[in-house]
Structure 1
Amino acid sequence: MNIIPPTQQPAFQDTQEQEIHLRDYISVILKRKTTVLTFLAITFLTVFIATYTATPIYTASSQVLIERNTSSSAIEGGNSYYRWDPDFLTTQFELIRSTDVTQRVVKQLQLDTKYRHYFFSEEKEGLFSFLSSFKTGIKDFIKGFFSSAPEGSETNTEGSGLLIANEPKTDAEIIAAKIMGGLSIKPVANTKTVIISYSDKNPAIAKLVTNAMIQAYMDQILEIKLASSNYSLQWMTSKAAEERKKLEGAELALQQYMRDNDLVTVENKLAVYPEKLSEFSSKLSKAQTEQQEFEALYAQIKALGENYDNIETIPIFAENKVLQNLRDQIFATEQKIKDLSKKYGYKHPVMINAKAEQALLLREKKIEVDRIIDSTRNSYELAKSREENLKQLLAKTKNEMLNINERFTQYTIMKRDVDMNRVLYDALTSSIKKASVTEQSQEIKIWVVKKAEFPSSPSKPQKKRNLLLGLILGLFGGIGLAFFIEYLDNTVKDGKDVEQRFDLTVLGTVEELQGKDEAIESHILEHPLSPLSENYRLIRSSLLLSSPDHPPRSLLITSMSPKEGKTSTTCNLARVLSQNNKKVLIIDCDMRRPRTHSLFNVPNSFGLSNYLTGDTKKNPIRPIPDEKLSIITSGPIPPNPAELLQSRRMQLLMDETMKFYDFVLLDSPPIQRVTDSLTLSAIVDGVLLIARSGKTTYDMLDSGLKKLRDIHTPILGIVINGIIRSKKDSGYYGYYEYYDKE
């Protein structure tokens, strides 16, 4: 192999621009077919569920003739010839879909009352309501962001501070907006007829709204005509507006007067005041009697002063249950002291305790007496305060009763003005209605050519079209997702890509074992003629030809990160090297996470770590039964693996083993984790890198190669594990599989 000097080898080589063929795209699609099919299945299933669970929409259509009424123009004194107006139909379309017309439909059909449940069904509450609110909020935000009001524009009423745009919509306005969303108006080509359609989930509602829309449109045209043609109607309307203002002013004045004089229920107050006077008088008499009783009791207590014995004779004290209980306890204690005095002296502890108990009871009795005295004083003051309050209420009620007649008289005068203004306003309103009904002339003729019929089948969803679109969207979306994932995939995929990026020789690839129960470490022994065994033979051949002078005898086998297959590669490579009657030795230099001993089922109690620490009592080399292999296990895990591997005893071990073995393979830890592999690379003929397809990233490989090339390590090449064999490659290996089973 033509090896570039390490100083001249680039750490990363840019991929040259190459022509991309159609087969490259097909290869990516076939490689990511699981992603494509999964996305296709999810998309198609989503469209299928959405289509077959969507509420069917029914469309009712009616055909209407709309043209100018030239005869009405002649009657009114105008010219009878036809004037072409290119914006005539467009203007009528806008009138049909206007808010006034749709609100007329809502009012005529009672959609906001009688049929409200069709537009505000319970099923819309929950997720659908949330999605609708979220969508509406986003639209309002975008509209407000791009159409903000300029400075100085009035967006709120003067003095109120409330934005008009933020006022909540009524049910009728919401339903009208929904009708506008489901309304469709299309002119028939080369005619004056128009097709008016309305779509709804209820076919009956669709028919009703479509027919009502025409009637509402006709009413709107008539109203426009009446509002702009009759002078007398305008005069009466303006006069009615003046009378309405007078009526509103009189009503506001009456309401203000009632509010200022508290006459909201003036008729009831006239009957209530006598009852209130009688009630307050009765309560005052009771309060005075109660106050006198408490005053006499409190005076009696104050007269006795601190003579508690006489105070207790007052009924309120004598009848108190707490005092009665304390007196009984004091009497019992006195009897106890008399009895004890016959047995003990006054200084005896029993006597002292009895007297202490007596003193405590006397103290509690005094506290209870004081409490009753305070309660009596508070009751007396409260009764006195209640008497004063009742006197004030009685006086206030008398004054209010004297003023109520005068206020009621003024209220009657203002009420009469309100009634008179209302009679005038109602008369004008009635005249306006009569004049509106008698006005018959119209400028536009509207004829219903075809009324809307009950739709028998839904117009939406269109199942075949939706399923076809879902299939197309899922297919192209899956292909796009496959290319996007392929673009983001930064892992090693095949040998060709690695050679182009890093100028690194790929000695061979190892395919992924498909059987779940098969172990790659023993596969060569069990299936010597399998495709996997052939992969390792090809690696052996490439490795023996990797050096121009002589095949490398000592190899360091390492990887970028754990679980990339370096240990299994070491074992299988050792087996294929030994098949040519060569002596092969495996040294497990991974003294941090050793695994080689478990693959060959040998003990690990004595091994490389014992030898490197100076323990030479045993031979660390163990022959593998039934194989031309030997192994030096890692031994017990030491605290300083890096120091042991760079010691002189490791160099001496390599020198001695090279005398007796044709090949020595060193299984070392990953480069990215520790520096053990970099240390061992100085005592071998070359380094064999192991990468795993779909796991080892280009960044990891670039970083590891840079570390090895910085110390001028001879890199023999790289082996890529985990290659997924495509079906087109299985034909050639089928012979080996068949032959292996014979």
Structure 2
Amino acid sequence: MASDKDKERDRPVHHLKPVSGAGGQMTVYDPHVSVPEDDDSIDLREYWRILVKRKWVVFGLLAIMLTATAMGTLLMVPEYRATATVEIKPEGGRILAYEDFESSARGAAGSQQFLTTQYEILRSRSLAEAVVRREGLQDHPELTGEIRQRSVMGEMRELAGMLLAAIRPAVGGEDAEGVSEAAPADPVRSTAGRLRSRIEVQPVRNSNLVQVSVVSFDREFSSRVANAVVREYIEGTMQRRYDAGSEARKFLQTQLDEMRIALERSDRALADFARDAHVSDLAENMEMARAGLRSLSERLDDVRNELVQLSGWRELVQQGQIDHLDPIANSTTIADLQKRLLDANAEYASLSERFLDSYPTVAETLRRIELLRAEIASEKQKIADGILGRFETLRAQEAALERAIAEREERIMALNEQGVQYNILRREFETNQELYDGLLQRMKEIGVAAGIQENNISMIDEARTPAAPFKPVLAKNLAIASMLGLMVGIGFALLLEFLDNTIRRTEDVERLVDRPVLGLVPLVRPRERSSSRRKKSKGTDRSLSHYSAEHPQSSVSEAYRSLRTSLMFATPEGMPKVLLVTSAAQSEGKSTTAANLATVLAQNGSRVLLIDADLRKPALHRDFGKPRSPGLTNCIAQANQTRIVEGPAIHASDVDGLSLMLAGHSTPSPAELLSSSRLGKVLADCKQIFDHVVVDAPPILGLADAVILSRIVDGVILVAASGQTGKESFRVAIRRLNQVQAPVLGVVLNRVDLESPDYAYYSSYYYNYESSQEQLDAPKPDLSKAS
């Protein structure tokens, strides 16, 4: 019989939340199960949980980054930086006035472009080569590569280069020798390339000052080269300015001679064209041509309008429907003839009532009717012929007008071309005149202002020998490495969490299936197991089958009692009598869960039978130290001969109220044996004898046994191992059970690591619970401190 404390613990309290299960049944969530919220917002606590869970990954990558950075920094050679300050003023007026319009229009943008150009000159290859030649730096060890900066990657590259150099002669043979005998590169150019990499140009903000720095491993060398670079830059600028003035004078003189010839040529061309094209009468001829074109266009519009009207009448004539022509309908002649015809027809109708057609008066009337009809037809034909004739006349007029208009348009275009050509020649003459005048004026100005232009570049501060190196800075490098290491570590931790395809939390189960999580079973660490069980058991989970019996006050036992409570409310009728415990794959704790569930049911005062239906890999006979046979297979074979209670297949256990039915003799076809109707009779007899029957079934994937057994039990419990059961295999297992309409009650999440951040709240819950139990049940040992 269970104690009053256990009965009080099994009462449904406020933390049990009834929800609708599959098929409209009422199921109960475990108090540790949280219902997922349909919220698309970002939960920062979820990211914090992942980072705490993967903290060693983050800290490991951070430590690697910091160690590599510290080693690289300590390997580096100290570097010195000497800086000289230069003032660069914007240039004065240009030699050619018309070349200066662009910079004047740009204003500040033009000044910035000039300064940017000077910065690039300071960094240029030609300036570096001039410094190398002037200071004789071709053989300086720092610029020849004999002295270089050390780093971890640099040392590795040097080692690889040495290996390649040793291998290449052996592999290349004669070709390698040919390459080695090639002419060496220009030492000045190669040295200047290394010097350029050490020159730094930094403008001073909101001023015309520029700081020119040289970085070197030798403090004296850095200041010496920095001053040499600035002096070479100033002298080079002055030389370029002088050369530009000389070249400008030569250029202006050449351009002035060419422009004089061009001006004379354009003047002659303009005069010849004006004489040949009668430019004085050009405007009058153009106006007359345009007036004639307007008159012809108006006449053409009138003809086309009349043609549109006649085209419809023409179609009626061609179709023989001349009676529908408007001119015929509106003709007074035809109307008069038709009136006379009506009178004649009326006269004939009156005479024909009294006389025969041969009577002279009647005959005369008939002859007059025929004449009127012929005259009407003749008149209509005349009108139709007149329409056709008029249409053809208008067509001819239209063609003639179109030709006249085309000729007039060609005349106008010719006049326009003459006008355009005249304007081009005139503008060319005027432009040449302006250019010639400008060149002549600038030529005179150069002669006056030669040699008086001031230098706009000067050195403000010479470079001094630096007192201390500026890098490497260990603290700065470590700070950068810390940030990079944290970012890489956090990214890698999130990636590992994303790639993790196993079930770890109740939320994972609820996202995969529409069944509740009935309970969570904490992970039992090796130090929490009793020494006697550890000595007897060879496997990982063998000794755990008795854990609830040996440690009734542990968090594991409390978890199984919570599972028992959830099962009491799993259906409207209460706890199902025959329960099947299975898992998606092997080694997920289904046998341990079945044994401990049967134990806590027996501790509640019920008669419980635990059946080992895993006929392929039975385990309960080893866990409980009982012989495998007789057992379930023997009962199925003798189901029609004796009752279960009378047979030897029922074994007693160390737990009061718990009996065992082990697997029995091995069978070559477990699926056929379990699908026989005699198994149903065995379970029916067990239901009459025991209050609860717990069946330990084989895994679902790859076997048909569990699916067969799920059809003949009252409820199915699916066990999933946290961190081990794959989501896809779990989904497939649920799908197979749903296909046979198995009564799946829910899921038990096994081996839950309460020390993991995934279950920080649950760890605190169990810790507080066991602490209170320790105070009530002292001096019992506390096995939950490890959790």
Q: Shorter chain as normaliser: what TM range?
A: 0.5 to 0.7
Tell whether 2:753 aligns with 1:724. yes
Which deviates more, 564-573 or 98-107? 98-107
Out of 451, 460, 476, the residue aligned to residue 471 of structure 2 is 460
How far did residue 679 of structure 1 move?
Answer: 0.5
Native 8 Å contact 2:72 2:151 kept in 1: no
- With over 3 angstroms needed to count, the CA separation of the structure-2 counterparts of 1:176 and 1:17, relative to structure 1, is same
Conserved 8 A contact 2:715-2:743: yes
Q: 2:741 aligns with which of 699, 712, 716?
A: 712
Distance 1:191 1:126, change over 3 A: closer
In the alignment, the residues of structure 1 paired with residue 689 and residue 471 of structure 2 have an alpha-carbon distance, to the nearest angstrom, of: 85
TM-superposed deviation, 1:648 = 2.9
Q: Which residue of 2 is the match for residue 644 of structure 1?
A: 673
CA contact (8 A) 2:608 2:692 kept: yes
Equivalent of 1:620, from 649, 670, 683? 649
Relative distance call for 1:58 and 1:731 in structure 2 (3 A) is farther
Among candidates 20, 29, 38, match of residue 16 of structure 1: 38
Cα distance, 1:65 vs structure 2? 4.2
**1:545 alignment partner, one of 569, 579, 584:** 569
> Contact (CA 8 Å) 2:579, 2:713: kept in 1 or not?
yes
Measure how far apart 1:535 and its partner are: 0.7
Percent identity over the alignment is 31
Amino acid at match of 1:37: F
Mapped contact 2:567–2:574 kept (Cα < 8 A): no
1:553–1:663 CA contact under 8 A, matched in 2: yes
Question: Are the counterparts in 2 of residues 531 and 737 from structure 1 also a CA contact under 8 Å?
Answer: no
Alpha carbons 2:652, 2:658 under 8 Å: kept? yes
1:57-84 Cα offsets, whole Å, 9 max, x none, are 321111234558999x9xxxxxxxxx99
Per the alignment, do residues 90 and 515 of structure 1 end up closer, same or farther by CA in structure 2, a change over 3 Å counting? Answer: same
Distance (Å, rounded) in 2 between the aligned partners of 1:129 and 1:168: 25
Q: Provide the rounded CA distance (Å) in 2 between the counterparts of 1:69 and 1:655.
A: 108
Aligned: 1:503 with 2:551: no
Report how many residues are paired. Answer: 495
Contact 1:524 1:532 in 2 (8 A): yes
Partner residue of 1:597 out of 600, 605, 621: 621
**Equivalent-residue separation in structure 1 for 2:145 and 2:565 (angstroms):** 79
The correspondence for 1:701, drawn from 722, 727, 730, is 730
**Which segments of 5 or more consecutive residues in structure 2 lack a partner in the other structure?**
1-17, 28-34, 96-106, 161-182, 251-450, 530-542, 755-759, 783-787
Q: Is the 8 A contact 2:503 2:720 kept in 1?
A: yes
CA–CA separation in structure 2 for the residues paired with 1:168 and 1:737: 86
Q: How far is the alpha carbon of 1:651 from its aligned partner?
A: 2.3
Query: Which residue of 94, 101, 108 maps to 2:127?
Result: 101
- Whether the 8 Å contact between 2:584 and 2:699 is mirrored in structure 1 is yes
Partner of 1:64: 86
Report how far residue 588 of structure 1 moved.
1.5
Query: In structure 2, do the counterparts of structure 1 residues 510 and 191 end up closer, same or farther at CA, with 3 Å as the change threshold?
Result: closer
Q: CA deviation at 1:712?
A: 1.1
Alignment CA distance shift 1:227-1:551 (3 Å)? same
Q: Secondary structure at the match of 1:683?
A: coil
How far off is 1:708 after superposition?
0.9
Taking the aligned partners of 2:40 and 2:120, their CA distance within structure 1 comes to 59
| More deviation, 728-737/122-131 | 122-131
Note closer, same or farther for the CA distance 1:536–1:188 as it changes in structure 2 (3 Å cut): closer
**Residue 466 to residue 594, structure 1, CA distance change in 2 (3 Å):** same
| 2:771 aligned with 1:734 | yes
Q: In 1, Cα distance between the equivalents of 2:501 and 2:79? A: 49
Q: Is the 8 A contact 2:588 2:721 kept in 1?
A: yes
2:709 is aligned to 680
Which residue of structure 1 lines up, in the alignment, with residue 600 of structure 2? 576
Give 1:536 shift: 0.6
Residue correspondence of structure 1 range 254-653 to structure 2 within 5 A: 444=455, 447-499=458-510, 501-516=512-527, 518=529, 519-604=543-628, 606-612=630-636, 619-625=648-654, 627-653=656-682
Q: Give the corresponding residue for 2:534.
A: none
CA contact (8 A) 2:141 2:147 kept: no
Q: Distance in 2 between matches of 1:171 and 1:735?
A: 85
| Conserved? CA contact 1:203–1:455, under 8 Å | yes
Whole-Å separation in 1 of the counterparts to 2:41 and 2:204: 55
Q: Are 1:208 and 2:219 an aligned pair?
A: no
CA offset digits 1:518-566 (Å, max 9, x no partner) = 2533332332111111111110111122122242121110011122111
Q: CA deviation at 1:106?
A: 3.0
Stretch moving more, 17-26 or 683-692? 17-26
2:22 — aligned with what?
A: 4
Write the distance in 1 (CA, Å) between the matches of 2:88 and 2:148: 40
Question: Residues 737 and 38 of structure 1: is their aligned pair in 2 closer, same or farther, counting only changes over 3 Å?
Answer: farther
Higher Cα radius of gyration: 2
Conservation of the 8 A alpha-carbon contact between 2:36 and 2:507: no
Amino acid of the structure 1 residue aligned with 2:193? A
The alpha-carbon distance between structure 1 residues 691 and 463, as it changes in their structure 2 partners (threshold 3 A), is same
1:307: which partner in 2?
none
AA aligned to 1:513 is V
Measure, in 1, the Cα distance between the counterparts of 2:225 and 2:627.
89
Determine the structure 2 residue equivalent to 1:314.
Answer: none
Superposition CA RMSD, Å: 4.3
TM-score (norm 1): 0.58
Q: What is the deviation of 1:133?
A: 14
Out of 91, 94, 108, the residue aligned to residue 117 of structure 2 is: 91
The structure-2 alpha-carbon separation of the partners of 1:203 and 1:118, relative to structure 1 and needing over 3 Å to count, comes to farther
TM-score by length of 2: 0.55
Contact 2:721 2:750 in 1 (8 A): yes
Flag structure 1 segments of 5+ consecutive residues without an equivalent: 74-82, 135-166, 235-439
Distance change in 2, residues 1:19/1:221 (3 Å): closer
Moved more, 625-634 or 653-662: 625-634
Q: Deviations over 1:411-433 (max 9, x none)?
A: xxxxxxxxxxxxxxxxxxxxxxx
CA deviation map 1:55-114 (0-9, x unaligned): 43321111234558999x9xxxxxxxxx99825443332222111111223334444424
Local SS of the residue matching 1:195: strand
- For residues 458 and 122 of structure 1, what CA distance do their matches in structure 2 show? 15
Q: SS at the partner of 1:198?
A: strand
| SS at 1:696 equivalent | coil
Residue of 646, 650, 667 corresponding to 2:696:
667
